[in-house]
């Protein structure tokens, strides 16, 4: 079968490989599921891996099959799989509990404390940019056919759901927390999905990005679901507080780390700031009003939390939000899927879109590997 691979740490090494089709019995205890890949999303992490910044090949391989944003159809199930059958739509989670930390042993590998981690398409495990894959049913989420067209958005959404779940858990420290307003910093595909998830929870949502509002399709999408958009090229997030008030919740997904200090100064009393950008660079900033920020956090009981990856429960939360959003704003999620690349062999096209997202006005680029 065909698959898209890179040589980790080697810049622009993306290429097509030919591999044996995986077999059900690679998964023990009859829990294997063979999945025909239908769609795979391409994202910033794939771009960074192909840039040589990130990614580890599985043991015994010099290449890593890319792809973690996935959607497929069950082709065959092992003898002990009762929850899925051939023909079902599924999305697979990304991280596996192969580490040594206690969190791995209790199935909370998304909270691993190990420095090494096993993530399909990212680190130590081949990914889903292939014609098919096998996986244990334990790591597959069943997808209702009604959301099949947009289900490739579930994996990026799962990251947001985990962030929001962490916020909710942390805010249980307050006997009553009735958040009303939220700011979303960065409105690429992750930011748009975040705005959606917050709108589904009834928040008043304010999105921020660098682009000017005029002609910015991402901003139009936000407004269609009742959120606002402001360009930080015109005024800062801190300044926006004069217009919208301090935010009860702020979700940061810009990839531009200095903005977190703006976010910290824009948070309401008892509010929570969620950080979700994996900033692998060397950027430093010194323009930080540290006394002010520290005092705001202390006197206002503010909180800040980092979040990465997602577990089964977060994918399941995401399924519900996708279904609710389709019910409330039919067709809106589909508008995010701006660039379809037909066939894995056209990987160069996908990486061109990823590397020049601004030029292409791309929100979500994805492969159609097989037809739904």
Interacting residue ranges for ligand BGC, rule: CB under 6 A: 43, 45, 68, 94-95, 119, 122, 155, 159, 278, 308-309
- Strand 303-306: give its sheet, edge to edge: 228-231, 204-209, 181-185, 247-252, 267-275, 303-306
Q: Least distance in Å: CB of 204 to ligand BGC? A: 27
Residue closer to ligand BGC (CB basis): 43 or 183? 43
d(CA 156, CA 100): 26
Residue closer to ligand BGC (CB basis): 219 or 365? 365
Q: Residues with Cβ < 8 Å from 60, sequence gap 6 or more? A: none
Q: Least distance in Å: CB of 56 to ligand BGC? A: 10
Residue closer to ligand BGC (CB basis): 66 or 132? 66
Q: Least distance in Å: CB of 194 to ligand BGC? A: 13
Q: What is the DSSP letter of 368?
A: E
Residue closer to ligand BGC (CB basis): 104 or 248? 104
Structure-token pair, residue 111 = 């909270």
Residue closer to ligand BGC (CB basis): 76 or 316? 316
Q: What is the DSSP string of 211-238?
A: S-STT-HHHHHHHHTT-EEEETTTS-HH
Asked if residues 278 and 252 have their Cβ atoms less than 8 Å apart, the reply is no
Residue closer to ligand BGC (CB basis): 155 or 161? 155
Residue closer to ligand BGC (CB basis): 6 or 264? 6
d(CA 324, CA 345): 35
Residue closer to ligand BGC (CB basis): 66 or 143? 66
Q: Parallel, antiparallel, or unpaired: how do β-strands 247-252 and 267-275 relate?
A: parallel
Bridge partners of 64, per DSSP, are 6
3 state SS of 202: coil
Residue closer to ligand BGC (CB basis): 45 or 338? 45
Q: Least distance in Å: CB of 191 to ligand BGC? A: 14
Q: Least distance in Å: CB of 356 to ligand BGC? A: 19
Within 10 angstroms of residue 336's Cβ, the number of other Cβ atoms is 18
Residue closer to ligand BGC (CB basis): 67 or 209? 67
d(CA 197, CA 194): 5
**Vertex 81 angle, CA 77 and 83, to 5°:** 110
Task: Name the packing angle between helices 312-328 and 189-200 (round to 10°).
Answer: 80
Length of the chain: 372
Q: What residue ranges in the chain does DSSP mark as E strands?
A: 2-6, 15-18, 32-42, 64-65, 69-77, 89-92, 95-96, 118-120, 124-125, 132-136, 140-143, 181-185, 204-209, 228-231, 247-252, 267-275, 303-306, 339-342, 365-368
């Amino acid at each position: 079968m065909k698959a898209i691979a890179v040589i980790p740490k080697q810049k622009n090494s993306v290429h097509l490989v030919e591999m044996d089709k995986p077999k059900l019995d690679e998964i023990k205890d009859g829990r294997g599921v063979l999945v025909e890949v239908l769609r795979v999303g391409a994202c910033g992490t794939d771009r960074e891996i192909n840039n040589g910044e990130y990614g580890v090949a599985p043991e015994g391989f010099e290449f890593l099959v890319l792809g973690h944003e996935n959607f497929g159809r069950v082709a065959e199930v092992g003898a002990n799989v009762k929850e899925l059958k051939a023909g079902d739509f599924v999305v697979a989670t990304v991280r596996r509990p192969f580490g040594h930390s206690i969190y791995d042993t209790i199935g909370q590998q998304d909270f691993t404390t190990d420095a090494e981690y096993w993530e399909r398409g990212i680190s130590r495990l081949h990914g889903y940019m292939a014609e098919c894959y096998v996986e244990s049913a334990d790591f597959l989420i069943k997808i209702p056919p009604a959301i099949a067209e947009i289900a490739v958005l579930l994996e990026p959404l799962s990251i947001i759901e985990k962030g929001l779940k962490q916020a909710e858990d942390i805010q249980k420290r307050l006997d009553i927390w009735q958040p009303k307003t939220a700011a979303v910093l960065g409105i690429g595909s992750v930011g748009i999905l975040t705005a959606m998830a917050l709108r589904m929870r009834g928040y008043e949502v304010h999105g921020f990005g660098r682009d000017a509002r005029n002609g910015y399709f991402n901003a139009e999408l936000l407004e269609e679901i009742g959120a606002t958009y402001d360009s930080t090229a015109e005024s800062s997030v801190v300044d926006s507080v004069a217009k919208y008030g301090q935010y009860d919740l702020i979700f940061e997904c810009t990839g531009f780390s200095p903005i977190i200090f703006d976010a910290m100064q824009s948070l309401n009393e008892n509010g929570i700031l969620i950080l979700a950008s994996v900033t692998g660079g060397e950027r430093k900033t010194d323009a930080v009003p540290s006394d002010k920020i520290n005092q705001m956090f202390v006197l206002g009981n503010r909180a800040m939390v980092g979040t990465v990856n997602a577990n089964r429960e977060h994918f399941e939360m995401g399924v519900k939000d996708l279904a609710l959003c389709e019910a409330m704003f039919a067709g809106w999620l589909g508008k995010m899927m701006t660039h379809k690349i037909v066939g894995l062999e056209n990987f160069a096209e996908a990486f061109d879109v990823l590397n020049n997202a601004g030029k292409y006005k791309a929100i979500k680029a994805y492969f159609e590997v097989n037809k739904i």
